[in-house]
Amino acid sequence: MSAAFDEIEAIAREATRTNQKFHQIAREAYQFARKNYADPKYDAFRNSDLGRTWKQQKLAECDRYCPECRKPINENNSDIDHKHPRRHYPWLAWDIDNLWVLCKECNQNKGDKKWQEYLSAVQLYRGQAAVNRILKQAPPAKLARK
Protein backbone atom coordinates (compact mmCIF):
# COMPACT_ATOMS: atom_id res chain seq x y z
CA MET A 1 0.00 0.00 0.00
CA SER A 2 2.87 2.37 0.82
CA ALA A 3 4.47 1.76 -2.59
CA ALA A 4 1.19 2.64 -4.36
CA PHE A 5 0.84 5.79 -2.26
CA ASP A 6 4.45 6.78 -3.03
CA GLU A 7 3.78 6.25 -6.74
CA ILE A 8 0.66 8.44 -6.60
CA GLU A 9 2.60 11.18 -4.79
CA ALA A 10 5.34 11.02 -7.45
CA ILE A 11 2.74 11.31 -10.21
CA ALA A 12 1.14 14.27 -8.42
CA ARG A 13 4.51 16.04 -8.06
CA GLU A 14 5.26 15.48 -11.76
CA ALA A 15 1.81 16.78 -12.72
CA THR A 16 2.41 19.91 -10.61
CA ARG A 17 5.80 20.51 -12.26
CA THR A 18 4.28 20.00 -15.72
CA ASN A 19 1.43 22.41 -14.90
CA GLN A 20 3.87 25.07 -13.66
CA LYS A 21 6.01 24.67 -16.77
CA PHE A 22 2.93 24.93 -19.00
CA HIS A 23 1.87 28.20 -17.34
CA GLN A 24 5.39 29.60 -17.62
CA ILE A 25 5.50 28.79 -21.35
CA ALA A 26 1.99 30.22 -21.84
CA ARG A 27 3.02 33.49 -20.12
CA GLU A 28 6.13 33.73 -22.27
CA ALA A 29 4.15 33.05 -25.45
CA TYR A 30 1.59 35.71 -24.51
CA GLN A 31 4.32 38.26 -23.79
CA PHE A 32 6.06 37.44 -27.07
CA ALA A 33 2.82 37.73 -29.09
CA ARG A 34 1.85 40.98 -27.44
CA LYS A 35 5.30 42.53 -27.84
CA ASN A 36 5.81 41.40 -31.43
CA TYR A 37 2.30 41.45 -32.89
CA ALA A 38 -0.54 43.01 -30.88
CA ASP A 39 1.16 46.10 -29.48
CA PRO A 40 2.96 47.08 -32.72
CA LYS A 41 -0.30 46.80 -34.69
CA TYR A 42 -2.15 48.92 -32.15
CA ASP A 43 0.68 51.46 -31.93
CA ALA A 44 0.83 51.71 -35.72
CA PHE A 45 -2.92 52.42 -35.83
CA ARG A 46 -2.83 54.91 -32.95
CA ASN A 47 0.07 56.85 -34.51
CA SER A 48 -1.27 56.80 -38.07
CA ASP A 49 -3.29 59.50 -39.80
CA LEU A 50 -6.24 57.11 -39.71
CA GLY A 51 -5.83 56.63 -35.94
CA ARG A 52 -5.57 60.36 -35.27
CA THR A 53 -8.63 61.02 -37.44
CA TRP A 54 -10.51 58.25 -35.64
CA LYS A 55 -9.64 59.79 -32.25
CA GLN A 56 -10.84 63.22 -33.43
CA GLN A 57 -14.12 61.64 -34.52
CA LYS A 58 -14.55 59.91 -31.14
CA LEU A 59 -13.79 63.15 -29.29
CA ALA A 60 -16.46 64.90 -31.37
CA GLU A 61 -18.98 62.09 -30.71
CA CYS A 62 -18.65 62.57 -26.95
CA ASP A 63 -18.72 66.38 -27.33
CA ARG A 64 -15.16 66.45 -25.98
CA TYR A 65 -16.23 65.30 -22.51
CA CYS A 66 -15.03 62.10 -20.89
CA PRO A 67 -17.95 59.67 -21.04
CA GLU A 68 -17.23 58.52 -17.49
CA CYS A 69 -16.43 61.63 -15.43
CA ARG A 70 -17.59 64.39 -17.82
CA LYS A 71 -14.26 66.26 -17.60
CA PRO A 72 -13.47 68.22 -20.79
CA ILE A 73 -11.06 66.25 -22.98
CA ASN A 74 -8.91 66.93 -26.01
CA GLU A 75 -6.15 65.21 -27.98
CA ASN A 76 -3.62 65.75 -25.18
CA ASN A 77 -5.51 64.83 -22.01
CA SER A 78 -7.33 61.79 -23.39
CA ASP A 79 -6.35 58.24 -24.23
CA ILE A 80 -7.63 55.63 -26.62
CA ASP A 81 -8.82 52.88 -24.31
CA HIS A 82 -9.41 49.19 -24.96
CA LYS A 83 -12.88 48.35 -23.68
CA HIS A 84 -11.75 44.75 -23.36
CA PRO A 85 -8.13 45.03 -22.13
CA ARG A 86 -5.22 43.74 -24.18
CA ARG A 87 -4.03 41.81 -21.15
CA HIS A 88 -7.13 39.62 -21.22
CA TYR A 89 -8.04 39.83 -24.93
CA PRO A 90 -4.87 40.40 -26.97
CA TRP A 91 -6.63 39.57 -30.25
CA LEU A 92 -8.77 42.71 -29.73
CA ALA A 93 -5.74 45.02 -29.34
CA TRP A 94 -6.21 46.64 -32.74
CA ASP A 95 -9.93 45.92 -33.25
CA ILE A 96 -11.45 49.35 -33.82
CA ASP A 97 -14.75 48.15 -32.32
CA ASN A 98 -12.88 47.60 -29.04
CA LEU A 99 -11.59 51.18 -28.83
CA TRP A 100 -13.03 54.35 -27.36
CA VAL A 101 -11.75 57.55 -25.75
CA LEU A 102 -11.49 58.38 -22.04
CA CYS A 103 -9.67 61.06 -20.10
CA LYS A 104 -6.24 59.92 -18.93
CA GLU A 105 -7.35 59.65 -15.29
CA CYS A 106 -10.40 57.49 -16.02
CA ASN A 107 -8.35 55.35 -18.40
CA GLN A 108 -5.73 54.82 -15.70
CA ASN A 109 -8.40 54.01 -13.11
CA LYS A 110 -10.07 51.56 -15.49
CA GLY A 111 -6.75 49.80 -15.93
CA ASP A 112 -7.20 46.28 -17.23
CA LYS A 113 -10.56 45.60 -15.61
CA LYS A 114 -12.83 43.40 -17.65
CA TRP A 115 -15.81 45.26 -19.13
CA GLN A 116 -18.50 44.10 -16.68
CA GLU A 117 -16.17 44.65 -13.72
CA TYR A 118 -15.50 48.17 -14.98
CA LEU A 119 -19.20 48.96 -15.47
CA SER A 120 -19.96 47.67 -11.96
CA ALA A 121 -17.25 49.90 -10.49
CA VAL A 122 -18.56 52.95 -12.37
CA GLN A 123 -22.09 52.13 -11.22
CA LEU A 124 -20.91 52.01 -7.62
CA TYR A 125 -18.80 55.20 -7.68
CA ARG A 126 -20.45 57.39 -10.31
CA GLY A 127 -24.00 56.06 -10.65
CA GLN A 128 -26.24 54.85 -13.44
CA ALA A 129 -26.02 58.09 -15.43
CA ALA A 130 -22.29 57.51 -15.96
CA VAL A 131 -22.91 53.89 -16.96
CA ASN A 132 -25.52 55.07 -19.48
CA ARG A 133 -23.06 57.60 -20.97
CA ILE A 134 -20.41 54.91 -21.23
CA LEU A 135 -22.74 52.46 -22.95
CA LYS A 136 -23.81 55.17 -25.39
CA GLN A 137 -20.19 55.96 -26.30
CA ALA A 138 -18.75 52.46 -26.06
CA PRO A 139 -21.16 49.60 -26.64
CA PRO A 140 -19.43 46.34 -25.70
CA ALA A 141 -17.21 44.87 -28.37
CA LYS A 142 -17.65 41.27 -29.37
CA LEU A 143 -15.17 38.96 -27.68
CA ALA A 144 -15.16 36.35 -30.45
CA ARG A 145 -11.90 35.87 -32.29
CA LYS A 146 -11.95 37.09 -35.86
Per-residue pLDDT of the chain (146 residues; tens, 9 = 90+): 688 888 889 898 998 999 898 888 888 887 887 788 777 888 888 899 999 999 999 999 999 999 999 999 999 999 999 999 988 888 888 788 899 999 999 999 999 999 999 999 999 999 999 999 999 988 776 776 55
Q: So what CATH class is 39-137?
A: alpha beta
CB proximity list for 51: less than 8 A, separation 6 or greater: 45, 80
Rounded Cα distance, 85 and 58, in Å:
19
Q: For residue 78, which of 98, 54, 102 has the smallest C-alpha distance?
A: 102
pLDDT of residue 144: 64
Residue spans per domain, the chain: 39-137
CB proximity list for 78: less than 8 A, separation 6 or greater: 55, 59, 66, 101, 102, 103, 104, 107
The CB density around residue 30, as the number of other CB atoms within 10 Å, is 13
